[in-house]
Amino acid sequence: MRFKSLLVFLLIATVLFAFSGLAQSKYKIAFVPKLIGIPYFNAMEEGGKKAAQDLDVEFIYTGPVTADVAKQIEVVDNLITQGVDAIAVAPNDPAAITPVLKKAKERGILVLTSDTDGAQEVRDLFVNQALQDQIGYTIMDELAKAMNYEGEFAIVSCGPTAWNLNTWILYELQRLAEYPKMKLVTIRYAEEDVQLAINVTLDLINAFPNLKGIIGQCSTSAPGAAEAVTQAGKIGEIVVTGLSVPSMMRPYVKNGAVKSFVLWDPVDLGYLTVWAAKYLLDGNTFEEGVEYEIPGISTKPWYIAKDKMLVLGPPKVFDASNVDDYDF
């Protein structure tokens, strides 16, 4: 009898061990945004969750509650301690976060950047929403059209060290050469804070009485600038464009402060980030110029080998004709 009990015990233990092994076989893929709690990164989280469900991986979404470089580094360090398989991050400060990403790589963790890039020699892949020049050119073209191709404008950016924002600004200034009657008067910063963007823009409106246009360089500064123009009673005199999500820009498209703005589908970007991580963890490699069919997203991303970059697709312009078609 004792022998039978022992056999049953060993059988149960073996089954439990087997199931434990199966549970541990799921990849743990983490995404660390610049900060949590804003619609743009909420949309990326939604895409990441959907991919995790479709691909049977564990998705961890965690980050600082403000665009705090030190906190973001701390979050990445905690993920290393947890022993995740892959970490994708949208760095607030590429230089500052490089040491902790090196540490992750040394521990055998797959390192990706998404939304904004970091040190190319450290990360294994950059999941890019669109080519940087296309984003910058499109924003400047939309602003020029809205301003009738002349007048003074300002840029309200967010983090002064954010690689993606600064790169898009460089391309906007490059495109500005095609609009000789337009003049950039200043660039100001409002972190990732809508209220701060409102305050900064109100100051700009007072400081530059001939201002005709404003670029909101990120998802919080664009609606912040539009709200400031609304509060100042300047709709029709000053037009706002930039990068943001339809849910935050819709009221200002409706009231006329914004004629158009630029983005991509952040839900698809979140999905692609998790999909790409699993693709690499499975031992696959990307090939130069190849377009990848990915069930679950609406574009065909392609790979640029020299930059180790997977591109989601071209930027998208939103205006009164389509802003109601999106729920993120």
CA 168, CA 198: separation in Å to the nearest integer? 21
Q: Are 270 and 47 spatial neighbours (Cβ–Cβ below 8 Å)?
A: yes
Q: Are 31 and 44 spatial neighbours (Cβ–Cβ below 8 Å)?
A: yes
pLDDT of residue 192: 84
pLDDT of residue 22: 47
Q: Are 249 and 319 spatial neighbours (Cβ–Cβ below 8 Å)?
A: no
Q: Are 43 and 247 spatial neighbours (Cβ–Cβ below 8 Å)?
A: no
CA 266, CA 130: separation in Å to the nearest integer? 11
pLDDT of residue 150: 98
Give the position of tokens 């991986």.
57
Q: Are 34 and 116 spatial neighbours (Cβ–Cβ below 8 Å)?
A: yes
- Could you tell me whether strands 86-89 and 302-304 are parallel, antiparallel, or unpaired per DSSP bridges? unpaired
DSSP codes of every residue in 84-130: -SEEEE--SSHHHHHHHHHHHHHTT-EEEEESS---TTT-SEEEESS
Residue 285 main-chain phi, psi, to 5 deg: -130, 155
User: For every one of its 328 residues, what pLDDT tens digit does the chain have, with 9 covering 90 and above?
Assistant: 454 555 555 555 555 544 444 445 799 999 999 999 988 999 999 999 999 999 999 999 999 999 899 999 999 999 999 999 999 999 999 999 999 999 999 999 999 999 999 999 999 999 999 999 999 999 999 999 999 999 999 999 998 988 889 999 999 999 999 999 999 999 999 988 999 999 999 999 999 999 999 999 999 999 999 999 999 999 999 999 999 999 999 999 999 999 999 999 999 999 999 999 999 999 999 999 999 999 989 899 999 999 999 999 999 999 999 999 988 8
CA 118, CA 128: separation in Å to the nearest integer? 11
Give the position of tokens 């490059």.
174
Adjacent-strand bridge partners of 123? none
Q: Are 67 and 35 spatial neighbours (Cβ–Cβ below 8 Å)?
A: yes
Adjacent-strand bridge partners of 243? 262
Residue 96, C-beta contacts closer than 8 angstroms, at least 6 positions apart: 69, 73, 161
Instruction: Give the three-state DSSP class for 268.
Output: helix
pLDDT of residue 322: 95
Is the dihedral angle over the CA atoms 316, 319, 322, 323 positive or is it negative?
Answer: positive
Residue 242's Cβ-count burial label (10 Å; 0-12, 13-18, 19+) is buried
> Is 0.85 surpassed by the pTM of this model?
no
DSSP H stretches of helix in the chain? 2-24, 39-55, 69-82, 94-106, 132-146, 163-176, 194-207, 221-231, 246-255, 266-281
CA 52, CA 58: separation in Å to the nearest integer? 6
- Could you tell me whether strands 151-157 and 211-216 are parallel, antiparallel, or unpaired per DSSP bridges? parallel
| Of 278, 262, 309, 298, the residue nearest 31 (C-alpha) | 278
pLDDT of residue 24: 53
| Of 273, 284, 307, the residue nearest 32 (C-alpha) | 273
